[in-house]
Amino acid sequence: MKLRHLLILGLSSVVMVGCVPEVSKNRTNENPIAVNASVPVSSTQAKPLGESAQSPNSTAMKSGTFVSGEQKTQGKVSITTKDGKSFLELDDSFKTSESGPDLVIILHRSDNVINSTKPPSYSLKSEDYFIIAPLKKYSGAQTYSIPQNINLAYYKSIAIWCCKFNATFGAASLS
């Protein structure tokens, strides 16, 4: 009888653990953004690319410097184009807190995300942002592809945002 219970418990554990990556994978493909006719929204998330500093063949379109929100965040960000494709690049000086789960990089419609929201969480409204991708690492140079159907003219800043707690860790106004 005990062997039977152990076997059932073991199989249940294997099934639950096996489902966790699938649930996480499905969650990143969800689009938590409300549909707004004036802001085009992609149904797929952008995939992060390998670590990279700005490529010599790329052209910087917009850039900004992070200011802290809920957590200390620093460094520079730029949006560049190369071969007709847009990329979001965090430079070597980028750093944010490791205390948040579910951190993502977002494009935001406000040019001053931190001052347009209220502490302590600097929470965001779903119609005001687009999720580029999950944050790969908490510091250093990183490059992320921006989907071609995103009109960058609608977005005036970049933010590091915790989806789980709707907390903005930091933001950079683009100019």
- Tens digits of per-residue pLDDT, 46-102? 444 444 444 556 677 899 999 999 899 999 999 999 999 999 999 999 999 998 889
**pLDDT category of residue 121 using cuts at 50, 70 and 90:** low
Element (H, E) at 2: helix 2-28
State the pTM of this model.
0.66
Instruction: Let me know if 140 is exposed, middle or buried by CB neighbors in 10 A (0-12, 13-18, 19+).
Output: middle
Tokens of 168: 């903005």
- pLDDT at position 21 is 41
Average pLDDT, the chain: 76
More confident residue, 44 or 79: 79
Domain ranges of the chain: 59-173
Beta pairing partners, 85? 82
Question: Is the model's pLDDT at 152 over the cut of 80?
Answer: yes
Fold of 59-173: Immunoglobulin-like (2.60.40)
pLDDT of 10 reads 59
CB 71 within 8 A of CB 99: yes
- Kindly report, residue by residue over 131-143, the tens digit of the pLDDT: 999 999 999 999 9
